[in-house]
Amino acid sequence: MSFPLQEDFSIADETRRVALAVFPKGRAFLRIADALGCVY
């Protein structure tokens, strides 16, 4: 059994907004996700 490929790997807008509210200076995982996009 295999899973279908996921086309969109982006972080949901609401999730990003909450993460930036909790970590206003940013965190390494947010910067990595921004830099690597779908690879991360």
Domain extent listing, the chain: 11-40
pTM of the shown model: 0.49
Q: Is the pLDDT of residue 40 over 80?
A: no
DSSP secondary-structure letter at 40?
A: -
Answer positive or negative: Cα dihedral of 2, 9, 30, 22: negative
Q: What angle do CA 8, 22, 20 make, to 5 degrees?
A: 45
Binned at pLDDT 50, 70 and 90, residue 6 comes out as: low
* Average model confidence (pLDDT) across the chain: 77
Spell out the SS3 assignment of 1-39.
CCCCCCCCCCCCHHHHHHHHHHCCCCCHHHHHHHHHHHH
